[in-house]
Structure 1
Amino acid sequence: MLQAKTYRTLFISDVHLGTPDCQAEMLVDFLRQHEAETIYLVGDIIDCWRMKRKGFYWPQAHNDVVQKLLRQARKGSRVIYIPGNHDEMMRSYPGIHFGGIEVLERHMHVTADGTRLLIVHGDEFDMVVLNHRWIAQLGDIAYGLSMWGNKWYNRSRKLFGLRYWSFSRWAKMKVKRAVSFISDFEEVLADEARKAGADGVVCGHIHHAANDIRNGIRYINTGDWVESCTAVVEHFDGRIEVIDWSHLLAERARLPRALVLPVGADADAETPAYADVHGNAA
Protein backbone atom coordinates (compact mmCIF):
# COMPACT_ATOMS: atom_id res chain seq x y z
CA MET A 1 0.00 0.00 0.00
CA LEU A 2 1.28 3.46 -0.89
CA GLN A 3 2.22 5.74 1.97
CA ALA A 4 0.37 9.06 1.94
CA LYS A 5 2.31 12.31 1.97
CA THR A 6 1.40 14.49 4.92
CA TYR A 7 1.06 18.27 4.78
CA ARG A 8 0.21 20.92 7.31
CA THR A 9 -2.85 22.06 5.32
CA LEU A 10 -4.78 20.92 2.26
CA PHE A 11 -7.20 23.14 0.31
CA ILE A 12 -9.76 21.66 -2.12
CA SER A 13 -12.73 23.30 -3.84
CA ASP A 14 -15.22 22.96 -6.68
CA VAL A 15 -15.54 19.19 -6.63
CA HIS A 16 -19.16 19.31 -7.83
CA LEU A 17 -20.21 15.95 -6.42
CA GLY A 18 -23.59 14.99 -7.82
CA THR A 19 -22.65 15.73 -11.44
CA PRO A 20 -21.27 13.41 -14.16
CA ASP A 21 -18.42 15.88 -14.76
CA CYS A 22 -16.91 15.41 -11.29
CA GLN A 23 -13.57 13.58 -11.44
CA ALA A 24 -14.36 11.70 -8.24
CA GLU A 25 -12.10 8.71 -8.89
CA MET A 26 -9.10 10.97 -9.32
CA LEU A 27 -9.97 12.89 -6.16
CA VAL A 28 -10.29 9.69 -4.13
CA ASP A 29 -6.86 8.65 -5.31
CA PHE A 30 -5.45 12.09 -4.52
CA LEU A 31 -6.88 11.94 -0.99
CA ARG A 32 -5.44 8.47 -0.58
CA GLN A 33 -1.95 9.82 -1.32
CA HIS A 34 -2.25 13.22 0.42
CA GLU A 35 -3.20 13.82 4.05
CA ALA A 36 -3.06 16.96 6.19
CA GLU A 37 -3.49 18.19 9.74
CA THR A 38 -6.15 20.61 8.46
CA ILE A 39 -8.29 20.19 5.35
CA TYR A 40 -10.30 23.10 3.92
CA LEU A 41 -13.22 22.33 1.61
CA VAL A 42 -13.49 25.72 -0.09
CA GLY A 43 -17.01 25.53 -1.53
CA ASP A 44 -19.00 23.87 -4.30
CA ILE A 45 -18.15 20.44 -2.94
CA ILE A 46 -21.69 19.22 -3.66
CA ASP A 47 -23.54 20.65 -6.68
CA CYS A 48 -27.08 21.15 -5.38
CA TRP A 49 -27.91 23.40 -8.35
CA ARG A 50 -27.29 20.63 -10.87
CA MET A 51 -29.03 17.91 -8.85
CA LYS A 52 -32.08 20.13 -8.37
CA ARG A 53 -32.26 20.74 -12.13
CA LYS A 54 -31.17 17.34 -13.46
CA GLY A 55 -32.22 14.97 -10.68
CA PHE A 56 -30.27 12.93 -8.15
CA TYR A 57 -26.94 11.57 -9.39
CA TRP A 58 -24.65 9.89 -6.87
CA PRO A 59 -22.45 7.00 -8.05
CA GLN A 60 -20.24 5.02 -5.69
CA ALA A 61 -17.14 7.12 -6.45
CA HIS A 62 -18.91 10.23 -5.12
CA ASN A 63 -19.79 8.41 -1.94
CA ASP A 64 -16.14 7.30 -1.70
CA VAL A 65 -15.03 10.97 -1.68
CA VAL A 66 -17.34 11.75 1.25
CA GLN A 67 -16.27 8.64 3.14
CA LYS A 68 -12.61 9.44 2.58
CA LEU A 69 -13.06 12.94 4.04
CA LEU A 70 -15.02 11.60 7.01
CA ARG A 71 -12.26 9.06 7.59
CA GLN A 72 -9.67 11.84 7.60
CA ALA A 73 -11.72 13.64 10.26
CA ARG A 74 -11.94 10.48 12.38
CA LYS A 75 -8.17 10.05 12.12
CA GLY A 76 -7.68 13.49 13.65
CA SER A 77 -7.59 15.95 10.76
CA ARG A 78 -9.53 19.15 11.28
CA VAL A 79 -11.89 19.40 8.28
CA ILE A 80 -13.48 22.81 7.64
CA TYR A 81 -16.25 23.28 5.07
CA ILE A 82 -16.62 26.79 3.60
CA PRO A 83 -19.81 26.61 1.46
CA GLY A 84 -20.02 28.06 -2.04
CA ASN A 85 -22.92 29.07 -4.28
CA HIS A 86 -23.66 25.54 -5.55
CA ASP A 87 -23.86 24.20 -1.97
CA GLU A 88 -25.15 27.41 -0.40
CA MET A 89 -27.71 25.52 1.72
CA MET A 90 -24.78 24.66 4.00
CA ARG A 91 -24.51 28.36 4.85
CA SER A 92 -27.56 27.88 7.06
CA TYR A 93 -25.45 25.79 9.46
CA PRO A 94 -22.45 27.90 10.53
CA GLY A 95 -20.57 26.35 13.44
CA ILE A 96 -22.34 23.01 13.06
CA HIS A 97 -20.33 19.77 12.83
CA PHE A 98 -21.38 16.98 10.46
CA GLY A 99 -19.48 13.78 11.21
CA GLY A 100 -16.50 15.81 12.35
CA ILE A 101 -16.67 18.26 9.43
CA GLU A 102 -17.06 21.85 10.68
CA VAL A 103 -19.10 24.36 8.65
CA LEU A 104 -17.91 27.99 8.64
CA GLU A 105 -18.88 30.95 6.44
CA ARG A 106 -15.23 32.07 6.18
CA HIS A 107 -12.08 31.56 8.17
CA MET A 108 -8.69 33.15 8.83
CA HIS A 109 -5.92 30.59 8.45
CA VAL A 110 -2.44 31.28 9.80
CA THR A 111 0.38 29.39 8.05
CA ALA A 112 3.46 27.97 9.74
CA ASP A 113 5.44 31.10 8.84
CA GLY A 114 2.77 33.45 10.25
CA THR A 115 1.04 34.42 6.98
CA ARG A 116 -2.64 35.23 7.50
CA LEU A 117 -4.88 33.81 4.75
CA LEU A 118 -8.58 34.63 4.41
CA ILE A 119 -10.50 31.52 3.30
CA VAL A 120 -13.67 32.18 1.24
CA HIS A 121 -15.29 30.47 -1.73
CA GLY A 122 -15.44 33.68 -3.75
CA ASP A 123 -18.95 33.74 -5.19
CA GLU A 124 -19.79 36.57 -2.79
CA PHE A 125 -17.56 38.80 -4.94
CA ASP A 126 -18.83 37.63 -8.33
CA MET A 127 -21.22 40.36 -9.47
CA VAL A 128 -23.06 37.98 -11.82
CA VAL A 129 -23.86 35.56 -9.00
CA LEU A 130 -24.56 38.37 -6.55
CA ASN A 131 -26.85 40.53 -8.67
CA HIS A 132 -28.05 38.35 -11.54
CA ARG A 133 -28.57 34.84 -10.22
CA TRP A 134 -30.57 33.76 -13.27
CA ILE A 135 -27.65 34.65 -15.54
CA ALA A 136 -25.32 32.61 -13.34
CA GLN A 137 -27.65 29.61 -13.57
CA LEU A 138 -27.97 30.03 -17.34
CA GLY A 139 -24.19 30.14 -17.52
CA ASP A 140 -24.08 26.94 -15.47
CA ILE A 141 -26.29 25.23 -18.06
CA ALA A 142 -24.01 26.43 -20.88
CA TYR A 143 -20.99 25.21 -18.93
CA GLY A 144 -22.59 21.78 -18.56
CA LEU A 145 -23.21 21.59 -22.30
CA SER A 146 -19.60 22.52 -23.05
CA MET A 147 -18.39 19.81 -20.65
CA TRP A 148 -20.66 17.27 -22.37
CA GLY A 149 -19.20 18.16 -25.78
CA ASN A 150 -15.71 18.16 -24.34
CA LYS A 151 -16.21 14.63 -22.98
CA TRP A 152 -17.01 13.20 -26.41
CA TYR A 153 -14.19 15.15 -28.04
CA ASN A 154 -11.72 13.72 -25.55
CA ARG A 155 -12.94 10.18 -26.13
CA SER A 156 -11.87 10.67 -29.74
CA ARG A 157 -8.50 12.08 -28.65
CA LYS A 158 -7.96 9.07 -26.39
CA LEU A 159 -8.26 6.72 -29.39
CA PHE A 160 -5.22 8.46 -30.88
CA GLY A 161 -3.24 8.39 -27.64
CA LEU A 162 -3.66 12.13 -27.01
CA ARG A 163 -3.99 13.57 -23.47
CA TYR A 164 -7.15 15.21 -22.10
CA TRP A 165 -7.83 18.71 -23.43
CA SER A 166 -10.23 21.12 -21.73
CA PHE A 167 -12.06 23.62 -23.92
CA SER A 168 -13.19 25.60 -20.89
CA ARG A 169 -9.65 25.78 -19.49
CA TRP A 170 -8.33 26.89 -22.89
CA ALA A 171 -11.05 29.55 -23.21
CA LYS A 172 -10.19 31.01 -19.82
CA MET A 173 -6.64 31.59 -20.98
CA LYS A 174 -7.42 32.79 -24.52
CA VAL A 175 -10.78 34.58 -24.60
CA LYS A 176 -10.24 38.25 -23.79
CA ARG A 177 -13.39 38.72 -21.70
CA ALA A 178 -12.69 35.57 -19.68
CA VAL A 179 -9.13 36.72 -18.98
CA SER A 180 -10.46 40.14 -17.95
CA PHE A 181 -13.05 38.57 -15.62
CA ILE A 182 -10.41 36.41 -13.93
CA SER A 183 -8.15 39.43 -13.46
CA ASP A 184 -10.97 41.53 -11.96
CA PHE A 185 -12.00 38.65 -9.69
CA GLU A 186 -8.44 38.26 -8.40
CA GLU A 187 -8.15 41.98 -7.65
CA VAL A 188 -11.49 42.10 -5.80
CA LEU A 189 -10.57 39.07 -3.66
CA ALA A 190 -7.14 40.51 -2.90
CA ASP A 191 -8.79 43.77 -1.83
CA GLU A 192 -11.19 41.87 0.46
CA ALA A 193 -8.25 40.09 2.09
CA ARG A 194 -6.56 43.45 2.70
CA LYS A 195 -9.74 44.83 4.32
CA ALA A 196 -9.88 41.76 6.58
CA GLY A 197 -6.31 42.34 7.73
CA ALA A 198 -5.00 39.27 5.92
CA ASP A 199 -1.79 38.81 3.95
CA GLY A 200 -3.54 36.70 1.34
CA VAL A 201 -6.70 34.93 0.27
CA VAL A 202 -7.56 31.32 -0.62
CA CYS A 203 -10.66 30.85 -2.78
CA GLY A 204 -12.21 28.75 -5.53
CA HIS A 205 -15.32 29.44 -7.63
CA ILE A 206 -13.79 30.27 -11.03
CA HIS A 207 -12.10 26.88 -11.65
CA HIS A 208 -8.74 28.49 -12.34
CA ALA A 209 -5.85 27.53 -10.04
CA ALA A 210 -3.37 30.25 -9.11
CA ASN A 211 -0.72 31.23 -6.58
CA ASP A 212 0.24 34.83 -7.34
CA ILE A 213 0.79 38.23 -5.77
CA ARG A 214 -1.89 40.82 -6.56
CA ASN A 215 -1.13 44.35 -5.37
CA GLY A 216 0.94 43.08 -2.47
CA ILE A 217 -1.59 40.40 -1.45
CA ARG A 218 -1.08 36.69 -2.11
CA TYR A 219 -3.95 35.35 -4.23
CA ILE A 220 -4.41 31.58 -4.11
CA ASN A 221 -7.11 29.73 -6.03
CA THR A 222 -7.53 25.99 -5.55
CA GLY A 223 -8.89 25.33 -9.05
CA ASP A 224 -11.37 22.45 -9.35
CA TRP A 225 -12.00 18.71 -9.71
CA VAL A 226 -14.00 18.91 -12.92
CA GLU A 227 -11.53 20.15 -15.54
CA SER A 228 -8.09 20.63 -14.05
CA CYS A 229 -8.03 18.42 -10.93
CA THR A 230 -5.91 20.75 -8.80
CA ALA A 231 -5.47 21.36 -5.09
CA VAL A 232 -3.35 23.59 -2.88
CA VAL A 233 -1.12 22.36 -0.07
CA GLU A 234 0.75 24.11 2.72
CA HIS A 235 4.06 22.48 3.66
CA PHE A 236 5.20 22.41 7.28
CA ASP A 237 7.48 25.40 6.67
CA GLY A 238 4.52 27.50 5.46
CA ARG A 239 5.33 27.17 1.76
CA ILE A 240 2.24 27.10 -0.48
CA GLU A 241 2.11 24.89 -3.57
CA VAL A 242 -0.50 24.19 -6.25
CA ILE A 243 -0.65 20.48 -7.15
CA ASP A 244 -1.88 19.73 -10.67
CA TRP A 245 -2.92 16.11 -10.21
CA SER A 246 -3.95 15.45 -13.83
CA HIS A 247 -0.56 16.74 -15.02
CA LEU A 248 1.28 14.55 -12.51
CA LEU A 249 -0.70 11.52 -13.64
CA ALA A 250 0.26 12.25 -17.23
CA GLU A 251 3.90 12.49 -16.16
CA ARG A 252 3.59 9.18 -14.34
CA ALA A 253 2.32 7.53 -17.50
CA ARG A 254 5.55 8.50 -19.26
CA LEU A 255 7.83 7.09 -16.52
CA PRO A 256 9.40 3.61 -16.78
CA ARG A 257 6.97 1.18 -15.14
CA ALA A 258 9.47 0.10 -12.49
CA LEU A 259 9.60 3.64 -11.08
CA VAL A 260 5.91 3.76 -10.23
CA LEU A 261 5.48 0.31 -8.70
CA PRO A 262 5.21 0.16 -4.90
CA VAL A 263 8.04 -1.62 -3.10
CA GLY A 264 7.56 -5.38 -3.27
CA ALA A 265 5.03 -5.21 -6.12
CA ASP A 266 5.19 -7.81 -8.87
CA ALA A 267 6.36 -6.16 -12.08
CA ASP A 268 4.24 -8.62 -14.07
CA ALA A 269 1.12 -7.84 -12.08
CA GLU A 270 -1.37 -5.18 -13.08
CA THR A 271 -0.25 -1.70 -11.98
CA PRO A 272 -2.79 0.22 -9.85
CA ALA A 273 -4.71 2.80 -11.90
CA TYR A 274 -3.00 5.67 -10.10
CA ALA A 275 0.34 4.69 -8.60
CA ASP A 276 2.70 7.13 -6.87
CA VAL A 277 2.99 9.81 -9.55
CA HIS A 278 6.12 11.24 -7.99
CA GLY A 279 7.96 7.99 -8.71
CA ASN A 280 8.71 7.52 -5.01
CA ALA A 281 8.89 4.14 -3.36
CA ALA A 282 6.30 3.88 -0.59
Structure 2
Amino acid sequence: MTTTYYPSIWISDVHLGYKDCKADYLLDFLNSTRCDVLYLVGDIVDLWSMKRQFYWQASHYKVLECIQAKAESGTRVVYIPGNHDETFRSYVGKSLFNIEVHRTFIHTTSLGKKFLLLHGDDFDSATRYNKLISIAGDTAYDFLLFLNRWTNRVRRLYGGHYWSLASWLKNRVHKAREAISAFESAAIHEAKKQGVDGIICGHIHQPAIKVQDGIVYCNDGDWIENCTALVEGQNGRIELLHWSDIQHVVNVVELDKVKAHDAKAA
Protein backbone atom coordinates (compact mmCIF):
# COMPACT_ATOMS: atom_id res chain seq x y z
CA MET A 1 0.00 0.00 0.00
CA THR A 2 1.27 3.48 -0.90
CA THR A 3 1.48 5.76 2.12
CA THR A 4 1.70 9.55 2.40
CA TYR A 5 4.37 10.98 4.69
CA TYR A 6 3.73 13.86 7.12
CA PRO A 7 6.20 15.01 9.78
CA SER A 8 3.35 15.23 12.32
CA ILE A 9 -0.24 14.01 12.58
CA TRP A 10 -2.91 14.87 15.17
CA ILE A 11 -6.06 12.86 15.89
CA SER A 12 -8.48 12.94 18.81
CA ASP A 13 -11.99 12.02 19.91
CA VAL A 14 -11.90 8.56 18.38
CA HIS A 15 -14.14 7.13 21.14
CA LEU A 16 -13.20 3.49 20.69
CA GLY A 17 -15.80 1.47 22.58
CA TYR A 18 -18.66 3.69 21.46
CA LYS A 19 -21.17 2.50 18.88
CA ASP A 20 -20.80 5.56 16.62
CA CYS A 21 -17.00 5.37 16.39
CA LYS A 22 -15.90 5.34 12.74
CA ALA A 23 -13.00 2.95 13.41
CA ASP A 24 -12.88 1.60 9.83
CA TYR A 25 -12.27 5.07 8.39
CA LEU A 26 -9.60 5.80 11.01
CA LEU A 27 -7.88 2.49 10.36
CA ASP A 28 -7.74 3.29 6.65
CA PHE A 29 -6.27 6.71 7.47
CA LEU A 30 -3.60 5.26 9.78
CA ASN A 31 -2.64 2.61 7.22
CA SER A 32 -2.47 5.22 4.45
CA THR A 33 -0.15 7.62 6.29
CA ARG A 34 3.18 7.59 8.07
CA CYS A 35 4.77 10.25 10.26
CA ASP A 36 7.61 11.05 12.63
CA VAL A 37 5.24 12.01 15.45
CA LEU A 38 1.65 10.87 15.98
CA TYR A 39 -0.25 12.92 18.54
CA LEU A 40 -3.29 11.37 20.23
CA VAL A 41 -5.10 14.41 21.63
CA GLY A 42 -7.54 12.70 23.98
CA ASP A 43 -10.71 10.61 24.07
CA ILE A 44 -9.09 7.79 22.14
CA VAL A 45 -10.95 5.19 24.20
CA ASP A 46 -14.41 6.04 25.54
CA LEU A 47 -14.31 4.63 29.07
CA TRP A 48 -17.50 6.54 29.97
CA SER A 49 -19.49 4.79 27.27
CA MET A 50 -18.10 1.36 28.09
CA LYS A 51 -19.10 1.77 31.73
CA ARG A 52 -22.70 2.33 30.61
CA GLN A 53 -22.74 -0.39 27.95
CA PHE A 54 -19.80 -2.47 26.81
CA TYR A 55 -19.30 -2.23 23.05
CA TRP A 56 -16.13 -3.34 21.28
CA GLN A 57 -15.71 -4.30 17.64
CA ALA A 58 -12.76 -6.00 15.93
CA SER A 59 -12.04 -2.73 14.10
CA HIS A 60 -11.63 -0.96 17.46
CA TYR A 61 -8.95 -3.42 18.49
CA LYS A 62 -7.24 -3.07 15.10
CA VAL A 63 -6.95 0.70 15.59
CA LEU A 64 -5.10 0.19 18.89
CA GLU A 65 -2.99 -2.52 17.28
CA CYS A 66 -2.06 -0.18 14.41
CA ILE A 67 -1.07 2.64 16.78
CA GLN A 68 1.01 0.22 18.85
CA ALA A 69 2.74 -1.08 15.70
CA LYS A 70 3.65 2.48 14.71
CA ALA A 71 5.10 3.14 18.18
CA GLU A 72 7.19 -0.04 18.02
CA SER A 73 8.47 0.69 14.51
CA GLY A 74 9.99 4.10 15.34
CA THR A 75 7.09 6.58 15.21
CA ARG A 76 7.04 8.79 18.28
CA VAL A 77 3.53 8.54 19.74
CA VAL A 78 2.45 11.21 22.23
CA TYR A 79 -0.79 10.61 24.10
CA ILE A 80 -2.67 13.41 25.87
CA PRO A 81 -5.65 11.77 27.63
CA GLY A 82 -9.01 13.55 27.50
CA ASN A 83 -12.01 13.51 29.78
CA HIS A 84 -13.46 10.25 28.42
CA ASP A 85 -10.15 8.45 28.97
CA GLU A 86 -9.01 10.52 31.96
CA THR A 87 -8.05 7.34 33.86
CA PHE A 88 -4.84 7.39 31.84
CA ARG A 89 -3.94 10.81 33.24
CA SER A 90 -2.53 8.94 36.23
CA TYR A 91 0.27 7.83 33.88
CA VAL A 92 1.33 11.38 32.91
CA GLY A 93 5.11 11.59 32.69
CA LYS A 94 5.40 7.85 32.03
CA SER A 95 5.45 5.60 29.00
CA LEU A 96 2.85 2.95 28.17
CA PHE A 97 3.89 0.41 25.55
CA ASN A 98 6.33 2.88 23.94
CA ILE A 99 3.69 5.64 24.01
CA GLU A 100 4.46 8.83 25.94
CA VAL A 101 1.70 10.15 28.20
CA HIS A 102 1.47 13.91 28.78
CA ARG A 103 -1.10 16.27 30.28
CA THR A 104 -0.17 18.99 27.77
CA PHE A 105 2.60 19.28 25.21
CA ILE A 106 4.41 21.91 23.15
CA HIS A 107 4.94 21.06 19.49
CA THR A 108 7.40 23.09 17.40
CA THR A 109 6.79 23.05 13.65
CA SER A 110 9.50 22.95 10.99
CA LEU A 111 9.07 26.73 10.69
CA GLY A 112 9.73 27.23 14.41
CA LYS A 113 6.10 27.95 15.39
CA LYS A 114 5.15 26.69 18.83
CA PHE A 115 1.77 25.07 19.44
CA LEU A 116 0.19 24.20 22.77
CA LEU A 117 -1.44 20.76 22.67
CA LEU A 118 -4.22 19.79 25.05
CA HIS A 119 -7.51 17.94 24.83
CA GLY A 120 -9.79 20.88 25.60
CA ASP A 121 -12.02 19.80 28.48
CA ASP A 122 -10.16 22.45 30.51
CA PHE A 123 -12.42 24.99 28.77
CA ASP A 124 -15.75 23.37 29.69
CA SER A 125 -16.49 26.15 32.16
CA ALA A 126 -16.54 28.58 29.24
CA THR A 127 -19.22 26.64 27.36
CA ARG A 128 -21.45 24.98 29.97
CA TYR A 129 -23.55 27.27 32.08
CA ASN A 130 -25.03 24.75 34.51
CA LYS A 131 -25.54 21.02 35.04
CA LEU A 132 -29.06 20.99 33.59
CA ILE A 133 -27.88 22.51 30.30
CA SER A 134 -25.00 20.03 30.22
CA ILE A 135 -27.36 17.03 30.59
CA ALA A 136 -29.76 18.44 27.99
CA GLY A 137 -26.84 18.99 25.62
CA ASP A 138 -25.58 15.41 26.04
CA THR A 139 -29.07 14.03 25.41
CA ALA A 140 -29.50 16.17 22.30
CA TYR A 141 -26.08 15.08 21.03
CA ASP A 142 -26.97 11.39 21.41
CA PHE A 143 -30.12 12.05 19.39
CA LEU A 144 -28.09 13.85 16.71
CA LEU A 145 -25.79 10.84 16.41
CA PHE A 146 -28.84 8.56 16.13
CA LEU A 147 -30.10 10.69 13.22
CA ASN A 148 -26.61 10.77 11.74
CA ARG A 149 -26.33 6.98 11.86
CA TRP A 150 -29.64 6.31 10.13
CA THR A 151 -29.22 9.09 7.56
CA ASN A 152 -25.96 7.56 6.39
CA ARG A 153 -27.44 4.06 6.27
CA VAL A 154 -30.06 5.37 3.86
CA ARG A 155 -27.44 7.29 1.86
CA ARG A 156 -25.35 4.13 1.44
CA LEU A 157 -28.38 2.25 0.11
CA TYR A 158 -28.59 4.82 -2.69
CA GLY A 159 -24.84 4.95 -3.35
CA GLY A 160 -24.20 8.16 -1.40
CA HIS A 161 -20.99 8.96 0.47
CA TYR A 162 -20.68 9.55 4.20
CA TRP A 163 -21.96 12.97 5.30
CA SER A 164 -22.27 14.34 8.83
CA LEU A 165 -25.85 15.39 9.46
CA ALA A 166 -24.92 16.00 13.11
CA SER A 167 -22.23 18.52 12.16
CA TRP A 168 -24.52 20.23 9.64
CA LEU A 169 -27.25 20.67 12.25
CA LYS A 170 -24.86 21.88 14.96
CA ASN A 171 -23.63 24.66 12.71
CA ARG A 172 -27.18 25.89 12.29
CA VAL A 173 -28.24 25.93 15.94
CA HIS A 174 -27.56 29.29 17.57
CA LYS A 175 -26.79 27.97 21.06
CA ALA A 176 -24.42 25.36 19.65
CA ARG A 177 -22.58 28.02 17.65
CA GLU A 178 -22.35 30.19 20.80
CA ALA A 179 -20.81 27.31 22.75
CA ILE A 180 -18.30 26.56 19.97
CA SER A 181 -17.31 30.22 19.74
CA ALA A 182 -16.87 30.44 23.53
CA PHE A 183 -14.65 27.34 23.48
CA GLU A 184 -12.49 28.71 20.67
CA SER A 185 -12.10 32.06 22.46
CA ALA A 186 -11.06 30.30 25.68
CA ALA A 187 -8.51 28.20 23.79
CA ILE A 188 -7.06 31.25 22.04
CA HIS A 189 -6.85 33.08 25.38
CA GLU A 190 -4.92 30.15 26.88
CA ALA A 191 -2.49 30.12 23.95
CA LYS A 192 -1.84 33.83 24.46
CA LYS A 193 -1.25 33.26 28.17
CA GLN A 194 1.24 30.47 27.41
CA GLY A 195 3.09 32.70 24.92
CA VAL A 196 2.80 30.27 21.99
CA ASP A 197 1.92 30.82 18.35
CA GLY A 198 -1.08 28.54 18.31
CA ILE A 199 -3.11 25.82 19.96
CA ILE A 200 -4.18 22.36 18.82
CA CYS A 201 -7.03 20.63 20.61
CA GLY A 202 -10.13 18.47 20.15
CA HIS A 203 -12.98 17.78 22.59
CA ILE A 204 -15.88 19.63 20.92
CA HIS A 205 -15.98 17.53 17.72
CA GLN A 206 -15.78 20.67 15.62
CA PRO A 207 -12.82 20.59 13.18
CA ALA A 208 -11.39 24.00 12.37
CA ILE A 209 -8.33 26.02 11.41
CA LYS A 210 -8.46 29.77 11.92
CA VAL A 211 -6.24 32.71 12.81
CA GLN A 212 -7.61 35.04 15.45
CA ASP A 213 -5.81 37.78 17.42
CA GLY A 214 -2.48 36.54 16.07
CA ILE A 215 -3.09 32.99 17.35
CA VAL A 216 -3.53 29.95 15.10
CA TYR A 217 -6.43 27.90 16.43
CA CYS A 218 -6.60 24.29 15.24
CA ASN A 219 -9.13 21.64 16.21
CA ASP A 220 -8.55 18.19 14.75
CA GLY A 221 -12.22 17.25 14.98
CA ASP A 222 -13.26 13.67 15.70
CA TRP A 223 -13.96 10.17 14.38
CA ILE A 224 -17.59 10.10 15.48
CA GLU A 225 -19.12 12.72 13.16
CA ASN A 226 -16.47 14.25 10.94
CA CYS A 227 -13.59 11.76 10.41
CA THR A 228 -10.92 14.48 10.42
CA ALA A 229 -7.25 14.82 11.31
CA LEU A 230 -4.63 17.56 11.30
CA VAL A 231 -1.34 17.03 9.50
CA GLU A 232 1.83 19.09 9.20
CA GLY A 233 3.28 19.02 5.72
CA GLN A 234 6.96 19.19 4.81
CA ASN A 235 6.31 22.67 3.43
CA GLY A 236 5.31 24.00 6.86
CA ARG A 237 1.58 24.01 6.19
CA ILE A 238 -0.93 22.57 8.62
CA GLU A 239 -3.85 20.93 6.85
CA LEU A 240 -7.19 19.68 8.09
CA LEU A 241 -8.04 16.44 6.29
CA HIS A 242 -11.44 14.78 5.94
CA TRP A 243 -11.19 10.99 5.62
CA SER A 244 -14.30 8.95 4.91
CA ASP A 245 -15.55 7.67 1.56
CA ILE A 246 -13.81 10.57 -0.19
CA GLN A 247 -10.59 12.04 1.20
CA HIS A 248 -10.00 15.75 0.80
CA VAL A 249 -8.37 18.79 2.38
CA VAL A 250 -10.88 20.84 4.37
CA ASN A 251 -8.67 23.78 5.32
CA VAL A 252 -5.03 24.88 5.32
CA VAL A 253 -2.94 27.39 7.23
CA GLU A 254 0.45 28.45 5.90
CA LEU A 255 2.37 29.36 9.04
CA ASP A 256 5.04 31.36 7.23
CA LYS A 257 2.31 33.78 6.12
CA VAL A 258 0.43 34.14 9.41
CA LYS A 259 2.68 36.79 10.96
CA ALA A 260 2.78 38.91 7.79
CA HIS A 261 -1.01 38.70 7.46
CA ASP A 262 -1.54 39.78 11.06
CA ALA A 263 0.90 42.70 10.73
CA LYS A 264 -0.92 43.89 7.62
CA ALA A 265 -4.28 43.60 9.38
CA ALA A 266 -2.94 45.65 12.32
TM-superposed deviation, 1:149: 2.9
Question: 1:50 is matched with which residue?
Answer: 49
Q: Distance in 1 between matches of 2:75 and 2:152?
A: 37
Question: 1:191 is matched with which residue?
Answer: 189
Question: 1:222 is matched with which residue?
Answer: 220
Q: Is the 8 A contact 2:241 2:247 kept in 1?
A: no
Question: 1:3 is matched with which residue?
Answer: 2
Q: Return the letter of the residue paired with 2:244.
A: S
TM-superposed deviation, 1:163: 3.0
Q: Is the 8 A contact 2:162 2:245 kept in 1?
A: no
Query: What is the correspondence of 1:92-171 to structure 2 with a 5 Å cutoff?
Result: 92-127=90-125, 136=134, 139-171=137-169
TM-superposed deviation, 1:95: 1.1
Q: Distance in 2 between matches of 1:136 and 1:101?
A: 33
Q: Return the letter of the residue paired with 2:145.
A: M
Q: Distance in 2 between matches of 1:226 and 1:74?
A: 27
Q: Is the 8 A contact 1:150 1:167 kept in 2?
A: yes
Q: Distance in 2 between matches of 1:36 and 1:146?
A: 34
Q: How has the CA–CA distance of structure 1 residues 51 and 216 changed in structure 2, closer, same or farther, with 3 Å as cutoff? A: same
Q: How has the CA–CA distance of structure 1 residues 250 and 218 changed in structure 2, closer, same or farther, with 3 Å as cutoff? A: closer
TM-score (norm 2): 0.87
Q: How has the CA–CA distance of structure 1 residues 67 and 184 changed in structure 2, closer, same or farther, with 3 Å as cutoff? A: same
Q: How has the CA–CA distance of structure 1 residues 80 and 137 changed in structure 2, closer, same or farther, with 3 Å as cutoff? A: farther
Q: Return the letter of the residue paired with 1:43.
A: G
Query: What is the correspondence of 1:20-59 to structure 2 with a 5 Å cutoff?
Result: 20-54=19-53, 56-59=54-57
Q: Distance in 1 between matches of 2:132 and 2:97?
A: 33
Q: Is the 8 A contact 1:128 1:136 kept in 2?
A: no
Q: Distance in 2 between matches of 1:35 and 1:29?
A: 12
Query: What is the correspondence of 1:241-260 to structure 2 with a 5 Å cutoff?
Result: 241-246=239-244, 248-249=246-247
| CA deviation string 1:151-206 (max 9, x = no partner) | 12322222233333323201222111111211111111011011111100000011
| CA deviation string 1:179-237 (max 9, x = no partner) | 12111111110110111111000000111111110111000000001111000001123
Question: 1:234 is matched with which residue?
Answer: 232
TM-score (norm 1): 0.83
SS of 2:244's partner is: helix
Q: How has the CA–CA distance of structure 1 residues 219 and 71 changed in structure 2, closer, same or farther, with 3 Å as cutoff? A: same
Q: How has the CA–CA distance of structure 1 residues 133 and 81 changed in structure 2, closer, same or farther, with 3 Å as cutoff? A: farther
- Identity, in percent, stands at 45
Q: Is the 8 A contact 1:190 1:200 kept in 2?
A: yes
SS of 2:7's partner is: strand
TM-superposed deviation, 1:131: 7.7
Q: Is the 8 A contact 1:84 1:123 kept in 2?
A: yes
Q: Is the 8 A contact 1:204 1:221 kept in 2?
A: yes
Q: Is the 8 A contact 2:105 2:116 kept in 1?
A: yes
Q: Distance in 2 between matches of 1:130 and 1:93?
A: 28
Q: Is the 8 A contact 1:11 1:222 kept in 2?
A: yes
- Structure number with greater Rg is 1
Q: Return the letter of the residue paired with 1:15.
A: V
TM-superposed deviation, 1:137: 5.5
Q: Which runs of 5+ in 1 are unaligned?
A: 252-282
Q: CA RMSD in A?
A: 2.0
Q: Return the letter of the residue paired with 2:17.
A: G
Determine if the alignment matches structure 1 residue 15 to structure 2 residue 14.
Answer: yes
| CA deviation string 1:73-101 (max 9, x = no partner) | 11111101111111111111101211111
Q: Is the 8 A contact 1:123 1:130 kept in 2?
A: no
Q: Distance in 1 between matches of 2:187 and 2:245?
A: 27
Q: Is the 8 A contact 2:228 2:242 kept in 1?
A: yes
Q: How many residues of Structure 1 are paired with residues of Structure 2 in the alignment?
A: 249
